[in-house]
């Protein structure tokens, strides 16, 4: 596996602490559905990191990464 | 820290994002309308709307007479939205019941707006739909399953794609640069006012940026996009969203009311609303409300469509399409200049496309298509043939989509559920609101006034 592939594999969207399910985002972010949407293009693949308590792009990464089961 | 990563295939997004579904539905309807028109027919039968009425028995008679048309239209909307909803992994069974509720109320709201005394009593459909939805959401407790159909963004995006079919592409080319210039001045000023006031008040930079984008670019969508791009704390986006919604709802009522008192032409008011409203859905409610005053309220010049057209140019072309660039720049700044958060940013220019509001593509394609079709007709033939058989039915369907949206805004706005924003974020955002409204007013009514007046006369 190349360094680039390794980096891609370890990005947040593949981490078990990361949740970008649109329904869950709309449920946890009060008001998102009022004039926005969890299914919108602007959301891209953003999600919530339950480990860091941050809302961030699925393309980020950190040292706490753990593979999804 | 930032590095370059090439993105994988994005094709699955074509069926996973509601932006794309709004394009499939909007352009699908347009294509069908064009095919009917080409064969000498029209989709007018199914694009039924309540006609003007004077007394209740008149209304009852026309609703009963057109019941099969409304039923067919309901089936059509349900099939299109239902298919999309299923791909978005939302229960179709729940959506069906919810959308039936929305459709029945929308018929009543639309019909009320067609009463010949509606303007006298300020019963414009957008405001009635919104107020009714707010009353239901805040005075009753609706079952959870009923919320499945309250898809504000989906309806407004579908409506915007259909709106493209009624907006000449030549007008977009003519007015687009001015809209972008005016919107850029206001967006940059608003963002930096909110950001620096927020910083001054001691807010986290990421929260200040999230608030700034909410005020400057595209409301809730701006907040959520920038919160993700900069890696904000989990509570930052809901705080910003709550404040955006509060001010967006205030502006739905305030901007048309103030514009009416000032007797602004429809094109000018639409440009001001496009500059100073914070969300697409809210802005369309305000612009459509103001457009309805044309011809009914003495002293208001311009066509009814001009308010919506000017708003669309300003908000969609002038502000919304730039969200990807805001996200790219702020994500670079956040990962290279702001305090470390323990995560590493991987930013590239693909960010601009990934966050691009794709429904705008559908809007432009629809505009281009109908403009190209219209070129084959002289003005008289366009007015007597193309408008009634092609453009008007699309406009009717657009109006339905907007009413579904306005009612859904009210139904999803439960003030007691909103995040407790705190005083400092509210003050920072409000500082931006004040500057935004004043600057938007000056640019729309003084600096570019001739331009927006002229647009209203086209």
* Closest-CA distance of chain B to residue A19, Å: 12
**Which of B343, B416, B420 best tests the A interface by mutation, with the highest count of A CBs <10 A?**
B343
Q: Count structural domains, chain B.
A: 1
B151/A37 touch (CB, cutoff 8 Å), yes or no: yes
Considering only CA atoms, which of B407, B457, B138 is closest in space to residue B304? B457
Strands (E), B293-408: 343-344
Q: Is B167 exposed, middle or buried (0-12, 13-18, 19+ CB in 10 A)?
A: buried
Lowest mean pLDDT among A64-68, B6-10, B253-257, B380-384: B6-10
Average pLDDT estimate for B85-91: 95
Crossing angle of the two packed helices B236-262 and B219-230, in degrees rounded to 10: 150
Tell me how far apart the alpha carbons of residues B401 and B399 are, in angstroms, rounded to a whole number: 5
**Average pLDDT of chain B?**
93
**Which of B237, B320, B348 best tests the A interface by mutation, with the highest count of A CBs <10 A?**
B237
Q: Which of A41, A54, A55 sits opposite B356 (nearest CB)?
A: A41
- Please report which confidence band the pLDDT of residue B3 belongs to, taking 50, 70 and 90 as the band edges: very low
Query: Is B260 within a domain?
Result: yes
Report pLDDT for B13. 87
Q: What ipTM did this prediction achieve?
A: 0.94
Beta carbons of B334 and B206 less than 8 angstroms apart: yes
Considering only CA atoms, which of B404, B255, B393 is closest in space to residue B315? B255
Crossing angle of the two packed helices B280-291 and B219-230, in degrees rounded to 10: 160
Report pLDDT for A1. 60
Report whether pLDDT(B8) > 90. Answer: no
Tell me how far apart the alpha carbons of residues B113 and B115 are, in angstroms, rounded to a whole number: 6
B346/A32 touch (CB, cutoff 8 Å), yes or no: no
Tell me how far apart the alpha carbons of residues B177 and B72 are, in angstroms, rounded to a whole number: 41
What are the tens digits of pLDDT across the range B191-232?
999 999 999 999 999 999 999 999 999 899 999 999 999 999
Return the sign of the alpha-carbon dihedral for residues B262, B249, B280, B73: negative
Query: Is B5 within a domain?
Result: no
Report pLDDT for B272. 97
Tell me how far apart the alpha carbons of residues B212 and B214 are, in angstroms, rounded to a whole number: 5
Contacts of A14 in chain B (CB under 8 A): none
Q: Which comes out higher in pLDDT, residue B420 or B241?
A: B241
Report pLDDT for B2. 38
Of all residues in chain B, what percent carry a pLDDT higher than 70?
A: 97
Return the sign of the alpha-carbon dihedral for residues B424, B430, B434, B439: positive
Contacts for A63 with CB less than 8 Å, ≥ 6 apart? B342
Contacts for B103 with CB less than 8 Å, ≥ 6 apart? B74, B77, B404
Contacts for B431 with CB less than 8 Å, ≥ 6 apart? B193, B194, B197
Contacts of A53 in chain B (CB under 8 A): 233-234
* Closest-CA distance of chain A to residue B150, Å: 8
What are the tens digits of pLDDT across the range A22-68?
999 999 998 899 999 999 999 999 999 999 999 999 999 999 999 98
Tell me how far apart the alpha carbons of residues B423 and A39 are, in angstroms, rounded to a whole number: 30
What are the tens digits of pLDDT across the range B162-171?
999 999 999 9
Q: Which comes out higher in pLDDT, residue B2 or B148?
A: B148
A32/B356 touch (CB, cutoff 8 Å), yes or no: no
Report whether pLDDT(B255) > 80. Answer: yes
**Apex CA B268: angle with CA B265 and CA B273, to 5°?**
120
Average pLDDT estimate for B35-45: 97
- CA B241 to chain CA centroid, nearest Å: 16
Lowest mean pLDDT among B4-13, B53-62, B220-229: B4-13
Instruction: Identify the bridge partners of residue A15 per DSSP, sorted by sequence position.
Output: A67
Beta carbons of B424 and B200 less than 8 angstroms apart: no
- Please report which confidence band the pLDDT of residue B9 belongs to, taking 50, 70 and 90 as the band edges: low
What are the tens digits of pLDDT across the range B105-135?
999 999 999 999 998 888 989 999 999 999 9
Q: Which of A4, A23, A52 sits opposite B342 (nearest CB)?
A: A52
What is the model's pTM?
A: 0.94
Beta carbons of B404 and B102 less than 8 angstroms apart: yes
What are the tens digits of pLDDT across the range B339-398?
888 888 777 899 999 999 999 999 999 999 999 999 989 989 999 999 999 999 999 999
Q: Which of B228, B282, B346 sits opposite A35 (nearest CB)?
A: B282
Beta carbons of B69 and B45 less than 8 angstroms apart: yes
Contacts for B159 with CB less than 8 Å, ≥ 6 apart? B284, B398, B399, B401, B402, B405
* Cβ-based interface (< 8 Å): residues of A facing B: 4, 7-8, 11-12, 22-23, 28-37, 39-46, 48-49, 52-57, 59-64
* Closest-CA distance of chain A to residue B197, Å: 23
Contacts of B331 in chain A (CB under 8 A): 57
What are the tens digits of pLDDT across the range B308-346?
999 999 999 999 999 999 999 999 999 899 988 888 877
* Closest-CA distance of chain A to residue B279, Å: 7
**Apex CA B94: angle with CA B90 and CA B100, to 5°?**
120
Tell me how far apart the alpha carbons of residues B230 and B332 are, in angstroms, rounded to a whole number: 8
Query: Is B6 within a domain?
Result: no
- Range(s) of the domain holding residue B157: 13-456
Instruction: Identify the bridge partners of residue A56 per DSSP, sorted by sequence position.
Output: A47
- Please report which confidence band the pLDDT of residue B137 belongs to, taking 50, 70 and 90 as the band edges: very high
Q: Is B5 exposed, middle or buried (0-12, 13-18, 19+ CB in 10 A)?
A: middle
What are the tens digits of pLDDT across the range B390-427?
999 999 999 999 999 999 999 999 988 876 778 999 99
Considering only CA atoms, which of B100, B6, B3, B118 is closest in space to residue B52? B118
Average pLDDT estimate for B446-451: 94
Crossing angle of the two packed helices B392-412 and B92-113, in degrees rounded to 10: 110
Considering only CA atoms, which of B442, B448, B232 is closest in space to residue B213? B232
């Amino acid at each position: 596996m190349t360094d680039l592939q390794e980096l891609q594999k370890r990005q947040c969207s593949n981490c078990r602490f990361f949740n970008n399910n649109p329904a869950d985002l709309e449920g946890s972010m009060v008001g998102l559905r009022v004039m926005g949407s969890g299914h919108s293009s602007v959301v891209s693949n953003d999600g919530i990191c339950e480990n860091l308590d941050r809302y961030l792009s699925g393309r980020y990464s950190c040292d706490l990464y753990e593979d999804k089961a | 820290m930032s590095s370059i990563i090439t993105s994988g295939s994005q094709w699955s997004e074509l069926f996973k994002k509601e932006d794309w579904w709004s394009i499939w539905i909007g352009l699908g309807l347009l294509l069908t309308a064009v095919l009917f028109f080409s064969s000498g027919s029209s989709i007018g039968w199914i694009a039924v709307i309540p006609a003007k009425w004077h007394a209740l028995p008149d209304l009852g008679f026309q609703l009963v007479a057109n019941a099969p048309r409304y039923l067919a239209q309901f089936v059509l909307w349900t099939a299109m939205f239902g298919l999309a909803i299923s791909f978005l992994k939302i229960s179709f069974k729940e959506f069906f019941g919810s959308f039936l509720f929305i459709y029945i109320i929308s018929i009543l709201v639309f019909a009320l707006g067609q009463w010949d005394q509606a303007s006298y009593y300020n019963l414009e459909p957008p405001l009635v739909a919104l107020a009714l939805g707010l009353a239901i959401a805040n005075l009753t407790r609706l079952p959870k399953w009923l919320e499945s159909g309250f898809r504000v963004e989906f309806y407004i995006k579908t409506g915007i794609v259909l709106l493209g079919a009624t907006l000449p592409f030549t007008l977009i080319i003519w007015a687009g640069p001015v809209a972008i210039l005016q919107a850029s001045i206001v967006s940059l000023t608003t963002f930096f006012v909110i950001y620096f006031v927020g910083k001054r008040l001691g807010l986290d930079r990421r929260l200040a940026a999230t608030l700034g984008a909410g005020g400057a670019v595209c409301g809730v969508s701006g907040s959520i996009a920038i919160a993700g791009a900069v890696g904000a704390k989990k509570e930052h986006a809901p705080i910003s969203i709550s404040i955006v919604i509060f001010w967006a709802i205030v502006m739905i009522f305030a901007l048309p009311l103030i514009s009416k008192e000032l007797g602004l032409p429809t094109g000018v008011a639409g440009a001001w609303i496009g500059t100073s409203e914070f969300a697409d859905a809210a802005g369309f409610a305000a612009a459509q409300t103001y457009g309805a005053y044309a011809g009914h309220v003495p002293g208001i010049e311009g066509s009814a469509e001009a308010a919506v057209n000017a708003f669309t140019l300003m908000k969609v072309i002038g502000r919304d399409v730039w969200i990807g660039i805001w996200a790219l720049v702020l994500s670079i700044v956040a990962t290279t200049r702001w305090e470390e958060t323990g995560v590493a940013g991987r930013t590239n220019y693909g960010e601009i496309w990934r966050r691009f509001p794709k429904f705008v593509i559908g809007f432009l394609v629809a505009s281009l298509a109908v403009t190209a079709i219209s070129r084959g007709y002289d003005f008289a033939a366009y007015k007597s043939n193309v408008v009634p058989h092609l453009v008007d039915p699309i406009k009717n369907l657009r109006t339905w989509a907007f009413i579904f949206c306005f009612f859904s805004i009210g139904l999803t706005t439960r003030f007691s559920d909103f995040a407790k924003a705190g005083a400092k974020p509210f003050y920072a955002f409000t500082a931006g609101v004040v500057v935004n409204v004043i600057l938007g007013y000056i640019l729309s009514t003084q600096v570019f006034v001739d331009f927006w007046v002229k647009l209203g006369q086209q």
